[in-house]
């Protein structure tokens, strides 16, 4: 009767370890660790980092930056469509920002796309409004941020 006990204990320990690893892995997925393609100008890169800083003041998920080749997310200068300046795809961990975007608009585009990277969808007003986007976080933005678990309740 004594023999099965250590066996069971080992299995329980493995299961706990597996659950913990899974938890750690899913926790790591919540943050957005990105690298900015070096083709962006210094000014453009500074605007993208400024947008990340502003999200980081609000969220429980951090946007962080990694050296080239070490980020989970890639922010690329690439054309999107004729009428859009940015694009984000969570599954591919890819953000594209149209290289013709004027410097003064890069901040706004990065703010919106980083919002998608953090898990937010579109809302009718504010930073995540796809039609009349502003650079001011709205109540709707904050509600969406809480809904997806990126902002504290």
Q: Which is nearer to Zn ion, 28 or 130 (CB)?
A: 130
Q: Which is nearer to Zn ion, 104 or 131 (CB)?
A: 131
Pairing status of strand 63-65 against strand 94-97:
unpaired
- Residues 133-151 as b/e (b if ≥16 CB within 10 A, e otherwise) read beeebbebbeebbeeeebb
Q: Which is nearer to Zn ion, 124 or 130 (CB)?
A: 130
Smallest separation (angstroms) from Zn ion to the CB of 7: 53
Per CB under 5 A, contacts with Zn ion among 21-50 are none
Structure tokens, 19:
């659950």
The SS3 of residue 47 is helix
Smallest separation (angstroms) from Zn ion to the CB of 116: 6
Contact 81, 106 (CB under 8 A): no
d(CA 59, CA 132): 23
Q: Which is nearer to Zn ion, 44 or 115 (CB)?
A: 115
Q: Which stretch binds Zn ion (CB under 5 A): 42-50, 51-59, 124-132, 142-150?
A: 124-132
Q: Which residues bind Zn ion (CB under 5 A)?
A: 130
């Amino acid at each position: 009767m004594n023999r099965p006990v250590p066996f069971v204990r080992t299995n329980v320990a493995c299961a706990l370890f597996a659950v913990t690893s899974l938890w750690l892995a899913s926790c790591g997925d919540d943050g957005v660790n990105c690298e900015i393609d070096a083709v962006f100008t210094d000014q453009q890169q500074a605007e993208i980092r400024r947008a990340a800083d502003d999200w980081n003041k609000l969220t429980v998920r951090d946007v962080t930056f990694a050296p080239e080749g070490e980020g989970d997310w890639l922010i690329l200068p690439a054309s999107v469509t004729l009428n859009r300046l940015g694009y984000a795809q969570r599954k591919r961990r890819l953000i594209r920002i149209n290289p013709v975007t004027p410097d003064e608009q890069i901040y706004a585009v990065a703010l919106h796309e980083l919002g998608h990277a953090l898990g937010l969808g579109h809302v009718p007003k504010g930073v995540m409004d796809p039609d009349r986007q502003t650079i001011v976080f709205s109540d709707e933005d904050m509600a969406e941020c809480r809904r997806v678990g990126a902002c504290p309740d």
